[in-house]
Amino acid sequence: MNVIQTAKPLDVVIMAAGKGTRMKSRLPKVLHRLAGKPLLQHVLDTSAALKPRGVVVVTGHGAAEVQSGIAFSQAQLRYVLQEPQLGTGHAMQQAIPHLPDDGIVLVLSGDVPLTEAQTLQGLITACDGTRLALLTIKLDDPSGYGRIMRAASGDVLGIVEHKDATEAQRKIQEIYSGIMAVPAMLLKPWLARLDNRNAQGEYYLTDVVKFAVSDGVSVVAHPIEDALQVAGINSPLQLAELERAFQQRLARQLMAQGVRLADPARLDVRGELVCGQDVEIDVNCVFEGRVELGEGVKIGANCVISSARIAAGAQIQPFTRIEGDALGVEVGPGARIGPFARLRPGTRLAEEVHIGNFVEVKNATLAAGAKANHLAYIGDAKVGARVNYGAGSITANYDGVNKHHTEIGADVHIGSNCLLVAPVTIGAGGTVGGGSVITRDTEPGVLTVARAKQVTIANWKRPQKKK
Ligand code: UD1
Ligand code: MG
């Protein structure tokens, strides 16, 4: 007879009640950001990839702030409050009401952000619904961590915390990562047996290992070699080091795809960067949110680009700021932006648009070939194809209360230092003379000049200084 084994449901518990004293910050530790995302959010996103039945987050310090600082859409997310914090075993005891007997419990820490879903899947497989599985790693410097004690046979006997360990035990290099997978049925009675008779006077979750051994439940260590995946954050230095390590790894992945980075040590991706073929990125660029760079896009040095789609062949010259936020920014094929340009939310630029130095564009559409090359503002506007928008010209879109729209037809020439007082429409093919203040719509094809006429005063004398 064939027995069909169905995998047990997964319940994740993320411990995040600790104070994070060494961060010396008002912000709860798990809300500090790595690659632009709160540490706890990394752990939640990885958990989501495992398709758990439930996720329990144990909070304590800054519980309300932690809850409002993160987002989770998949599976059911529950918070339990641990007050006071009496250790990792005590934290797990608080989660028990949300852990059904038929599940596998995966224990994670909110301050260990870079564990990969595949690694956790391997740990769950090692647990197999019947065993206690511990994620372990050998470290050159294991100090501070719980050490894995093994019998001569290699069988795991227990975990001894650094502060409770003898000199000989402290020489053990294999450490417990803080991550385990265990059937809920087995875990619950062990949690009930914990005590706090140890060097720190805490209820140690790690004591469940010795209960497993004495109950004859098999304990498996699931060793990995990638230290980044189990690295925890305790201090600003560790946060910065892990950020660098993460960025370097990402830079190597991008280069493996063919992206040419001037210097992999000077790139920061705080979101998702998707690149086509032959993309070049110069030094000190920061990418936030989702940014797409089409084939052959070149990004100059010192650009900060958020939530944007930049089409094939576009060039973003040095010191450009693109901030798409919720509305996004789109840069068309072959466009040339910068240096020193600023594209704000809702900017849509068609192919071959040029935006030059000290030009700001917000919530505006520029059709193919339109150019604003120097010192200008275009906000809440629709600009036609091939428009030339002169230096120093602005759309006066705000009357102090409401925003108004400006429409500029195709092939218009706006001279320098013009003020287009919205709402206003400039007819296609028209020209606006430099220095004009335009308050009424103009007809297509005409020249409009709205400024004081030049006068000559022949006999005028300059004032003289009195002697
Ligand atoms: C723990 C392990 C240790 C392991 C190390 C890996 C225990 C007893 N020891 O030690 O074997 O090598 O992690 O990093 O588990 N937390 C709570 N409530 C508490 C205490 C802690 O939620 O009362 C949370 C913390 O916020 C943190 C996690 O549990 O996210 C780990 O706590 P921490 O104090 O860092 O444990 P370690 O002493 O590092
Ligand atoms: Mg720790």
Number of Cβ atoms within 10 Å of the Cβ of 347 = 28
Ligand 1 atom at shortest distance from the alpha carbon of 146: 11
Cα pseudo-dihedral 42, 55, 63, 90, rounded to 10: -110
Ligand 1 atom at shortest distance from the alpha carbon of 18: 26
Residue 11 pairs in a beta bridge with 54, 105
Written in H, E and C, the secondary structure of 139-207 is CCCCCCCCEEEECCCCCEEEEECHHHCCHHHHCCCEEEEEEEEEEHHHHHHHHHCCCCCCCCCCCCHHH
H/E run at residue 104: strand 104-109
- Does 142 sit in the ligand 1 pocket, CB within 6 Å? no
* Residues near ion ligand 2 (Cβ under 5 Å): 232
- Range with the poorest average pLDDT among 36-45, 144-153, 187-196, 458-467: 458-467
Average pLDDT (383-395) is 98
Token pair, residue 144, equals 């501070």
- Does 146 sit in the ligand 1 pocket, CB within 6 Å? yes
Nearest to 336 by CA among 381, 366, 377, 302: 366
DSSP 6: P
pLDDT confidence bin for 1, thresholds 50/70/90: very low
Q: What is the pLDDT of residue 72?
A: 83
In the annotation, is 90 catalytic? no
Mean pLDDT (the chain, rounded): 96
What is the percent of the chain with per-residue pLDDT over 90, rounded to a whole number? 96
CA dist., res. 82 & res. 93, Å (int):
9
Does residue 5 surpass a pLDDT of 90?
A: no
Side-chain half-sphere exposure of 326, counting CA atoms within 13 A: 0
H/E run at residue 124: helix 117-127
Query: Per-residue pLDDT tens for 234-279?
Result: 999 999 999 999 999 999 999 999 999 999 999 999 999 999 999 9
Q: Is there a contact between 178 and 232 (Cβ–Cβ < 8 Å)? A: yes
Q: What is the pLDDT of residue 467?
A: 84
Q: Which of 88, 204, 229 to mutate to test the pocket of ligand 1 (most atoms within 8 A of CB)?
A: 88
**Greatest Cα pair distance in the chain:** 121
What is the percent of the chain with per-residue pLDDT over 70, rounded to a whole number? 98
Q: Any idea which ligand is nearest the CA of 134?
A: 1
Does residue 4 surpass a pLDDT of 90?
A: no
Cα pseudo-dihedral 29, 75, 137, 6, rounded to 10: 160
**Pairing mode of beta strands 156-160, 147-150:** antiparallel
Average pLDDT (445-463) is 95
Nearest to 306 by CA among 286, 282, 283, 323: 323
Q: Which residue in the list 98, 374, 405, 413 is annotated as catalytic?
A: 374
pLDDT confidence bin for 74, thresholds 50/70/90: low
pTM: 0.91
Does residue 322 surpass a pLDDT of 70?
A: yes
